Amino acid sequence: MRKWHRWLSVFFGVFMLWIAVTGVLSQVAVLWPASEPAGAARAAAQAAATPPPGFECPEGWRCMPPRGNRTGIRSMVGLFHHLHSGETFGPIGTVISVLSGLALIFFSISGIWLYVQMWRFRKNRKLAPSWFWK
């Protein structure tokens, strides 16, 4: 198990770092404070939010007003999501993203398993039991 844990971590470590960074960036972009549009941009955003005269939402549809203009880092949320999911790189990117997620599950389970084995070994040899080794 330890051999697989080491070899797979060399390959998938790079991809998991990519997924972690783009995931954090997408959340930062969502939480980033919105900048208030000024002047003409504010008027254009208000005009876009009101539906044209005579517009009715079709039956069975859920119509929502369009979102305001996103500026700055908030405008990059979609880009970060596509980079995070691997969609930017096509089907191969999506497959690598899914495999990296599965590798993360494997590393979590195998890491716990390795830790339990080392803990049991230490306990069976009558060494000082402790949660962490020096």
What amino acid is encoded at 72 in this protein?
A: G
Per-residue model confidence as pLDDT tens digits over 2-35: 777 777 777 788 888 888 888 888 888 877 776 6
Give a yes or no: residue 10 inside a domain: yes
Give a yes or no: residue 89 inside a domain: yes
Confidence of residue 92 (pLDDT cuts 50, 70, 90): very high
Give a yes or no: residue 134 inside a domain: no
* Mean pLDDT (the chain, rounded): 77
Helix axes 90-124, 2-31, angle to 10 degrees: 120
Considering its fold, how many domains does the chain have in total? 1
DSSP conformation letters of 60-81: T----PPPPPP-GGGGGHHHHH
Question: How far from 38 is each of 3, 35, 43, 48, CA to CA, in Å?
Answer: 59, 9, 8, 15
Half-sphere exposure of residue 91: CA atoms within 13 angstroms, side-chain side: 0
Q: When comparing pLDDT for 5 and 43, which is higher?
A: 5
Give a yes or no: residue 129 inside a domain: no
